[in-house]
Amino acid sequence: MPVVTLTAKGIESLQPGPSRVDFWDTDVKGLHVRLSPNGERVFAVWYRVHQQPHRLNIGRWPTMTLKDAR
């Protein structure tokens, strides 16, 4: 799982592969962009409740901007 400082230009330039990949943000803990094989980009965040991890999709690129996701 790549850890990168996400930028709008960087998200736009991501190329899909044979499987989905999460690109983790260095600025906001738990925030990542999931890139699907079909090219769909989704912002999501991991968080914990009572020590149990949960993943929440918060929006699709470009409908949601990086600024809004952060």
- Secondary element (H or E) of residue 52: strand 52-60
Find residue 3's DSSP bridge partners: 24
Neighbours of 51 (CB within 10 A): 5
pLDDT in tens, 20-64: 999 999 899 999 999 999 999 999 999 999 999 999 999 999 999
Q: Which residue has the tokens 């850890």?
A: 3
pTM: 0.88
